[in-house]
């Protein structure tokens, strides 16, 4: 699915990713944990193609394509989805029209006919139900006036609409109460399939009670410093990130 | 230099000595005033950011242009209106190429808009239309002034509107000009008691546009609405000078102008709101917002509020910002092309202004025109 080799990236003068290696196979769920500021969002942003970051070394192959050469929209159409840690509010642009455009681009890229208005609405209904998103929200402006939880559910809803091959969830659990967390996880789990992979970025272990990962990585100071089975998340929760800091130091 | 500027009007007058024009007392008065007025130039406060040399150099030939009104109206010389204050309104009075007067009878409610399509075609063509509207008490009416300038031509129009007590008037101005066309438009609105007038200016295209919109609230309880958008590209220039004059108490005004600046374009916004000493309980809001799509575009914006009354609610402000890169990235990360994402964001941005028009036909026309030119996505707004 995705193979990241020795990835190095910086912003301005500051190097943030310092030689990161990671391979995710189809159908796998990988969790990336790590203390604040370790570079988790940077990794997600670099993979999605945010231009603020400069890639200074390494390579990323995504289903046989050189990911780093693609524009953000091409990455998306190739099947990479990033659920933003901070979803952007876009006043005046309706969620629905935006999604119609996004789904249209994705289908065109995959050689599929455009969905009829009826089929599109049916899909919206089905996929918004996965995250128990109020139907009314779909008709409002993108994320405008949404609560924190609604924004995160909207991200997962969009993910479900776009049916990506690899979904990167950047702290989709942050700021959620336990009910909202369960709903978000339920949406993600509904989309799990042998062809679809997930990179679940989280600071806390509790999300991983609901989205059970195959592999857990610890990102620290721009590198993966530890990789293990799902039990590693529990160990981290128990011992705290200082344990990692000590181990690495 | 000074003499050339003063003599510009003489040059135009002389070279159009035999052109058909309306004449009359108004024209004579205007001519004699203009003989002593300087041609507008950047040393004048009202023209500080607006270059007029190219306009002055033009060898313009007065023609009646092609003006279609729907439904059709008679030419009424007696409804030539008033002289006006600005230089170009007076040039229009002196050398008017066609004048229309229309009166909406008292208590009449007319749903179907009155529409003028004013065409200025052909190199050197110079059209000076004058339209005088009187909406009598308690009437309701809608007007569309659709300007279409082609080639290297010049349209200097004057629209005067009187809105009597309790009358409602909706005005849409469409400026859809070619890349070498100059347009000056003076719109003067005088409002009576409890009247309502809303003017929306849709500047789609054109080399050089200067709009003067002057709304005077003479009767208590009246409301003035002013809205406009401009999306100049290449080297286009758009200048909106507006004045809202609150002369009496208990009136409201709401003004919103938005610009999207591409390429090397330039725009000027100067909005004055006067609240006279007697105009207590005035509510006046004014806002000018701009987004810069290019590092080379220039905007000069100056909202001005002059308040002489003490019990009023007024606000004004202008913002000029870069394009929202975060929003752009978000949309692209969901598969929209950079171009498509920009169009979507611009659509959302100008929608707020277009929506102030109460004329569905105009709204649809404008959306279609802008989307055909790749500025917006019509379905999105
Ligand atoms: N736009 C930016 N400008 C400067 N520094 C940044 C920027 N974004 C992130 N950083 C820095 O990069 C480091 C990693 O940040 P980030 O990837 O957001 O970490 P995480 O998501 O793991 O909390 C931090 O030290 C942060 O301060
Ligand atoms: Mg982060």
Tens digits of per-residue pLDDT, B112-132? Answer: 999 999 999 999 999 999 999
Q: Are A73 and B347 within 8 A, CB to CB?
A: no
Question: Who wins on pLDDT, A115 or B74?
Answer: A115
Model confidence band, residue B69 (pLDDT cutoffs 50, 70, 90): confident
Both structure tokens of A244? 């990692």
- pLDDT in the model for residue B72: 65
- pLDDT in the model for residue B1: 42
Q: Are A106 and B335 within 8 A, CB to CB?
A: yes
Query: In the β-sheet with A14-24, what is the strand arrangement from edge to edge?
Result: A14-24, A2-11, A54-62, A65-66
**Which neighbouring-strand residues pair with A200?**
A31, A169
- pLDDT in the model for residue A65: 95
- pLDDT in the model for residue B80: 74
Model confidence band, residue B315 (pLDDT cutoffs 50, 70, 90): very high
Tokens 């609150």 — which residue?
B246
User: Looking at CA atoms only, how far is residue B171 from chain A in angstroms?
Assistant: 25
Q: Where are the domains of chain B?
A: 2-322
- pLDDT in the model for residue B23: 79
Q: What's the CA gap between B292 and B266, in Å, rounded?
A: 10
Nearest to A76 among B335, B348, B381 (CB): B335
- pLDDT in the model for residue B74: 56
CA-A52 nearest atom, ligand 1:
1
- DSSP state, A115? P
Output the residue whose Cα is nearest ligand 1's atom 18: A41
% chain A with pLDDT above 90: 75
Is the pLDDT assigned to residue A247 strictly greater than 80? Answer: no
Pairing of strands A2-11, A54-62: antiparallel
Residues 49-68 of A with CB under 8 A from B: 49-51
Verify whether ligand 1 is closer than 6 Å to residue A40 (CB atom).
Answer: yes
Tens digits of per-residue pLDDT, B278-287? Answer: 999 999 999 9
Is the pLDDT assigned to residue B5 strictly greater than 70? Answer: no
Class of domain A2-248: alpha beta
- pLDDT in the model for residue A177: 87
Verify whether ligand 1 is closer than 6 Å to residue A16 (CB atom).
Answer: yes
Measuring CA to CA, which residue among B284, B280, B225 is closest to residue B248? Answer: B280
- pLDDT in the model for residue A249: 61
Is the pLDDT assigned to residue B362 strictly greater than 50? Answer: yes
% chain B with pLDDT above 90: 78
Both structure tokens of B347? 């659509």
Q: In a mutational test of the pocket of ligand 1, which residue from A9, A12, A15, A41 has the highest number of ligand atoms less than 8 Å from its CB? A: A41
Is the pLDDT assigned to residue B71 strictly greater than 90? Answer: no
Model confidence band, residue B6 (pLDDT cutoffs 50, 70, 90): low
Nearest to B329 among A50, A94, A106 (CB): A50
% chain B with pLDDT above 70: 95
- pLDDT in the model for residue B3: 44
Model confidence band, residue B2 (pLDDT cutoffs 50, 70, 90): very low
Q: What is the mean pLDDT of residues B239-263?
A: 98
Is the pLDDT assigned to residue A39 strictly greater than 50? Answer: yes
Model confidence band, residue B78 (pLDDT cutoffs 50, 70, 90): low
**Which neighbouring-strand residues pair with B100?**
B75, B131
- pLDDT in the model for residue B10: 83
Model confidence band, residue B377 (pLDDT cutoffs 50, 70, 90): confident
- At residue A135, φ and ψ (nearest 5 deg) are -50, -30
**Which neighbouring-strand residues pair with A147?**
none
Q: What is the mean pLDDT of residues A131-160?
A: 88
Q: What's the CA gap between B68 and B70, in Å, rounded?
A: 7
Q: What is the mean pLDDT of residues A61-66?
A: 96
SS3 at position B122: coil
Tens digits of per-residue pLDDT, B167-202? Answer: 999 999 999 999 899 999 999 999 999 999 999 999
Is the pLDDT assigned to residue B159 strictly greater than 70? Answer: yes
Q: Where are the domains of chain A?
A: 2-248
């Amino acid at each position: 699915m995705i193979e990241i080799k020795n990835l190095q990236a910086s912003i301005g003068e500051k190097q943030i990713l310092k030689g990161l290696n990671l391979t995710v196979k189809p159908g796998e769920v990988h969790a990336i944990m790590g203390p604040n500021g370790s570079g988790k969002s940077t990794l997600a942003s670099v993979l999605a193609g945010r231009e603020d970051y400069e890639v200074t070394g390494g390579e990323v192959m995504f289903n046989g394509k050189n990911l780093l050469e693609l524009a953000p929209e091409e990455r998306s159409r190739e099947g990479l989805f990033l659920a933003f840690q901070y979803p952007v509010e876009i006043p005046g642009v309706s969620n629905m029209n935006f999604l119609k455009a996004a789904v249209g681009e994705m289908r065109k890229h995959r050689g599929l006919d455009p969905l009829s208005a009826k089929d599109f609405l049916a899909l919206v209904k089905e996929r918004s139900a996965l995250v128990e998103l109020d139907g009314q929200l779909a008709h409002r402006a993108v994320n405008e006036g949404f609560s924190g939880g609604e924004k995160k559910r909207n991200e997962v809803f969009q993910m479900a609409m776009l049916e990506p091959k690899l979904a990167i969830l950047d702290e989709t659990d942050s700021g959620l109460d336990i009910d909202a967390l369960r709903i978000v996880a339920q949406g993600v789990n509904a989309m799990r399939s042998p062809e679809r992979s997930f990179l679940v970025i989280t600071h806390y272990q509790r999300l991983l009670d609901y989205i059970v990962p195959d592999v857990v990585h610890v990102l620290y100071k721009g590198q993966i410093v530890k990789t293990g089975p799902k039990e590693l998340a529990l160990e981290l929760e128990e011992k705290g990130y200082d344990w990692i800091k000590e181990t690495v130091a | 230099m000074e003499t050339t500027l003063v003599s510009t009007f003489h040059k135009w007058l002389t070279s159009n000595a035999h052109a058909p024009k309306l004449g009359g007392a108004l024209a004579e008065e205007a001519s004699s005033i203009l003989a002593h007025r300087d041609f507008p130039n950047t040393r004048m406060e009202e023209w500080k950011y607006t270059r007029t040399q190219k306009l002055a150099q033009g060898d313009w030939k007065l023609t009646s242009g092609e003006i279609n009104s729907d439904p059709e109206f008679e030419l009424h010389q007696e409804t030539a209106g008033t002289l006006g204050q600005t230089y170009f309104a007076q040039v229009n009075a002196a050398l008017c190429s066609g004048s229309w007067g229309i009166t909406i009878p008292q208590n009449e409610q007319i749903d179907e808009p009155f529409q003028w399509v004013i065409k200025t075609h052909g190199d050197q063509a110079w059209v000076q239309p004058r339209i005088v509207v009187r909406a009598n008490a308690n009437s309701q009416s809608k007007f569309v002034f659709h300007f279409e300038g082609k080639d290297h031509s010049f349209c200097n129009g004057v629209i005067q509107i009187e809105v009597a007590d309790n009358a409602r008037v909706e005005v849409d101005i469409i400026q859809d000009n070619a890349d070498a066309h100059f347009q000056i438009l003076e719109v003067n609105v005088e409002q009576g008691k409890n009247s309502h007038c809303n003017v929306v200016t849709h500047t789609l295209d054109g080399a050089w546009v200067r709009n003067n919109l002057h709304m005077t609230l003479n009767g208590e309880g009246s409301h003035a609405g002013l809205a406009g958008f401009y999306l100049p590209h290449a080297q286009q220039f758009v200048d909106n000078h507006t004045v809202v004059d609150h002369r009496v108490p208990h009136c409201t005004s709401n003004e919103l102008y938005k610009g999207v600046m591409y390429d090397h374009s330039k725009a000027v916004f100067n909005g004055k709101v006067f609240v006279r000493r007697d105009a207590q309980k005035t509510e006046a809001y004014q806002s000018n917002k701009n987004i810069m799509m290019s590092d080379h575009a220039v905007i000069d914006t100056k909202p001005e509020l002059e308040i002489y009354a003490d019990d009023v609610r007024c606000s004004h402000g202008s913002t000029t910002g870069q394009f929202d890169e975060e929003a752009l990235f978000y949309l692209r990360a969901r598969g929209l092309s950079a171009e498509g994402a920009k169009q979507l964001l611009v659509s959302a941005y100008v929608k707020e202004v277009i929506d102030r028009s109460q004329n569905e036909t105009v709204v649809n026309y404008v959306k279609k025109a802008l989307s055909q030119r790749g500025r917006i996505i019509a379905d999105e707004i």
